[in-house]
């Protein structure tokens, strides 16, 4: 069993607070993605779990054992680095077996494990090559092979795909997912790419400025962000934000965006939104929840008309940019239903997916 528990974890570099008191429970065999912009403390957190950075304050437990002062080699973890960190003077085989050799594993056992890992990763023919004779994707596999042969309790990935080109990245992403399904272990995966996090992880941890903004499944992150940061960070293209006011209207509540545009709030949110009546708030809605006008029966689906400013065809959908007040927002329509630039177009907005954000606390209410 290898659950990982982080308790009130801090990291200072001189005056810089890189990680500021984070708490996190990672379950056995769970795939966790730490995601956030650069400098948010995600890599520092990972390196503290690995033992490559000292812990300023707090506790890290792996499998019921506090490992704060345990040296990296005794933590039973393996790590895949961003630039692979393959030893350039060793062959692929030597790279993969180095850790086992240091642990005095018998030779035939090393041989067996390296072959097995090479089979999983499809690098059986490359074992005698040097790293510089490999392509980026192959190096990536070797780096993962080096981790797999150790059969560790915990896998740590530090932005493993960011040095690959876009196509290879998507390919390796699937590969990593498959490997995790075969080699069941706890995985902590650091990335700045929210798509990677969404596609790979059982749960996502969004970090920002050294703290955890939110922890949840990819669906929770997407459907129910708890902060302005998470709402804007998760999702591509990202969520639209518009200044708004909550108004009482016909016994319900309405969200007023401009003098002549307001939408009735979903009826079930009356209690949540009523304390904010009259205050300046932020209205958040994802592009896919404003589409070309469609027949609908749901009370939360509402229609409006606006002029098209820019069209961005994406193939399966077309992004339609429109102006609401002074803000440009993105909407998503079927390619054949859009109007020309400058022409008015009818839209349907799904208010059930709206988010109301308090701009002072930056929390979703």
Partner 1 sequence: MVSVPNVERAVAASPPASRRSELRRRFGPDIDGYGFLLPAIIVMISLVVYPFFLAVWFSVSDAFVGEPSSYVGLENFIYILTEDDIFLMTIWNTLLFAFWSVVFKVVLGLTCALLLQRILKLKRFFRGSVLLPFVAPTALTTLGWWLILDPTYSHINWILANTWPFTMFGLGPYNFLGNPTLAMASVIFVNIWRGIPFFIITILAGLMSIPEHLYDAAEIDGASTWRKFRSITLPLLRPVLAIIILFSTIFTLGEFNIIYVLTRGGPMNSTHLFSTYSFTYGILNHEIALGAAVALFLFPILVLIVVFLLRMVRRDTSHEL
What are 215's two structure tokens? 């922890």
CB of 69 to partner 1, least distance (A): 15
Q: Which is nearer to partner 1, 50 or 324 (CB)?
A: 50
Candidates 10, 81, 276, 321; binder of partner 1 (CB under 8 A) is 81
Q: How far apart are CA 4 and CA 22, in angstroms?
A: 13
Candidates 89, 167, 182, 336; binder of partner 1 (CB under 8 A) is 89
If binding is defined by CB under 8 A, does position 83 make contact with partner 1? yes
CB of 136 to partner 1, least distance (A): 13
How many residues bind partner 1 (CB under 8 A)? The answer is 25
- On the 0-12 / 13-18 / 19+ scale of CB atoms within 10 A, 183 is middle
Q: Which is nearer to partner 1, 50 or 201 (CB)?
A: 50
Contact segment (CB under 8 A) with partner 1 among 5-13, 87-95, 191-199, 214-222 equals: 87-95
Q: How far apart are CA 246 and CA 36, in angstroms?
A: 31
Q: Which is nearer to partner 1, 72 or 252 (CB)?
A: 72
Q: Among candidates 24, 30, 23, which has minimal Cα distance to 1?
A: 30
Q: Among candidates 108, 314, 331, 118, which has minimal Cα distance to 240?
A: 331
DSSP assignment, residue 277?
Answer: B
- Cis peptide before 325, with omega less than 30 degrees from 0? no
Q: How far apart are CA 286 and CA 329, in angstroms?
A: 9
Q: How far apart are CA 306 and CA 340, in angstroms?
A: 12
CB of 225 to partner 1, least distance (A): 34
Candidates 7, 130, 272, 353; binder of partner 1 (CB under 8 A) is 130
Give every CB contact of residue 330 below 8 A, 6+ residues apart in sequence.
237, 240, 287, 319, 320, 321
If binding is defined by CB under 8 A, does position 79 make contact with partner 1? yes
Q: Which is nearer to partner 1, 113 or 269 (CB)?
A: 113
CB of 158 to partner 1, least distance (A): 9
Contact segment (CB under 8 A) with partner 1 among 82-90, 110-118, 186-194, 280-288 equals: 82-90
Tokens 């956030």 -> residue:
36
Instruction: Specify whether the backbone of 153 is left (phi greater than 0), alpha (psi in -120 to 50) or beta.
Output: alpha
Candidates 36, 41, 131, 284; binder of partner 1 (CB under 8 A) is 131
Candidates 87, 135, 219, 270; binder of partner 1 (CB under 8 A) is 87
CB of 170 to partner 1, least distance (A): 25
If binding is defined by CB under 8 A, does position 329 make contact with partner 1? no
Q: Which is nearer to partner 1, 163 or 227 (CB)?
A: 163
Q: Among candidates 213, 245, 214, which has minimal Cα distance to 357?
A: 245
Task: Please give the C-alpha separations between residue 289 and each of 34, 136, 193, 358, in angstroms, as whole numbers.
Answer: 27, 39, 23, 21
Kindly identify the residues of this chain, within the stretch 95-124, that bind partner 1 according to CB under 8 A: 98-99, 102-103
Kindly identify the residues of this chain, within the stretch 26-55, that bind partner 1 according to CB under 8 A: 50-52
CB of 160 to partner 1, least distance (A): 12
Question: Would you tell me which residues interact with partner 1 (CB under 8 A)?
Answer: 50-52, 72-74, 77-79, 81-83, 85-89, 98-99, 102-103, 130-132, 146
């Amino acid at each position: 069993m290898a659950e990982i528990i982080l308790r009130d974890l801090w990291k200072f570099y001189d005056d810089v607070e890189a990680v500021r008191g984070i708490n996190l429970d990672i379950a056995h065999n769970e795939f966790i993605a730490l995601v956030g912009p650069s400098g948010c403390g995600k890599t520092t957190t990972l390196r503290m779990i690995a033992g490559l950075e000292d812990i300023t304050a707090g506790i890290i437990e792996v499998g019921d054992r506090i490992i704060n002062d345990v040296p990296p080699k005794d933590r039973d973890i393996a790590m895949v680095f961003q630039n692979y960190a393959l030893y350039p003077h060793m062959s692929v085989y030597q790279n993969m077996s180095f850790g086992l050799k240091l642990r005095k594993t018998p030779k035939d056992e090393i041989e067996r494990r390296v072959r097995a890992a090479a089979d999983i990763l499809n690098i059986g023919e490359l074992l005698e090559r040097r790293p510089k004779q490999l392509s980026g994707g192959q190096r990536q596999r070797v780096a993962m092979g080096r981790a797999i042969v150790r059969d560790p309790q915990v896998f740590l990935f530090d932005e493993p795909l960011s040095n690959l080109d876009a196509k290879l990245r998507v390919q390796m992403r699937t590969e990593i997912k498959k490997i995790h399904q075969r080699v069941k272990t706890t995985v902590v995966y650091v990335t700045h790419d929210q798509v990677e996090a969404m596609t790979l992880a059982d749960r996502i941890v969004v970090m920002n400025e050294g703290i955890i903004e939110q922890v949840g499944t990819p669906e929770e992150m997407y459907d129910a962000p708890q902060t302005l940061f998470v709402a804007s960070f998760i999702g591509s293209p990202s969520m639209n934000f518009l200044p708004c006011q909550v108004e009482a209207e016909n016994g319900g509540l309405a969200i007023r965006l401009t003098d002549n545009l307001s939408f009735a709030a979903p009826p079930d949110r009356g209690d949540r939104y009523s304390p904010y009546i009259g205050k300046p708030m932020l209205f958040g809605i994802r592009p896919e929840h404003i589409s070309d006008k469609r027949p609908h029966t749901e009370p939360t689906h509402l229609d409006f008309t606006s002029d098209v400013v820019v069209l961005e065809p994406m193939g399966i959908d077309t992004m339609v940019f429109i102006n609401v007040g002074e803000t440009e927002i993105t909407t998503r329509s079927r390619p054949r239903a859009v109007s020309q630039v400058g022409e008015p177009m009818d839209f349907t907005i799904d208010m059930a997916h709206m988010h109301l954000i308090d701009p002072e606390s930056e929390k979703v209410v």
